[in-house]
Amino acid sequence: MIHSLIVLLVLVTSVAAFSSCGSVASASYGMQDESYLIVTASKQYLGETVFVSIDGDSAVQAVPINEKHAVRKGKRIVVSPGKHTVVVTDRAGVRLYEKQIFVSTNNGKMIHLP
């Protein structure tokens, strides 16, 4: 009786040990190396098309929205983290905003127009 109990215990342990063998796959993910800008306005440029130039590159169209809705509904302009010179102009080419900013990894900055 004890002998068959020991055999059964060894058999169950062997099956459990060999059936759990498999390859190990690990994955590591960090924060994405990007940041973003959102253009907001109070009244005058709310809903109007403006052009955002970052570090002198070609301008990107953006439509300023109310600051209250910026986090959920704002169009995000993706930039690399670090120091950037941001210039915002209207359709006529008038500079509305020009400033050097710093954006941290995976963070956003709001560009507020008058």
Number of domains in the chain: 1
Confirm whether 30 is domain-assigned. no
Confirm whether 60 is domain-assigned. yes
Quote the DSSP letter at residue 22: -
The pTM is what? 0.67
Confirm whether 11 is domain-assigned. no
Exposed (0-12), middle (13-18) or buried (19+): which is 34, by Cβ within 10 Å? Answer: middle
Confirm whether 109 is domain-assigned. yes
For 56-101, write each residue's pLDDT tens digit. 988 999 999 888 776 667 788 999 999 999 999 999 999 999 999 9
Dist CA 60 CA 88 (whole Å): 9
Q: Tell me, what CATH number does 52's domain have?
A: 2.60.40.1120
Tell me the residue range of the domain where 40 lies: 35-113
Q: In what order do the strands lie in the sheet with 77-79?
A: 77-79, 35-41, 108-113
Confirm whether 6 is domain-assigned. no
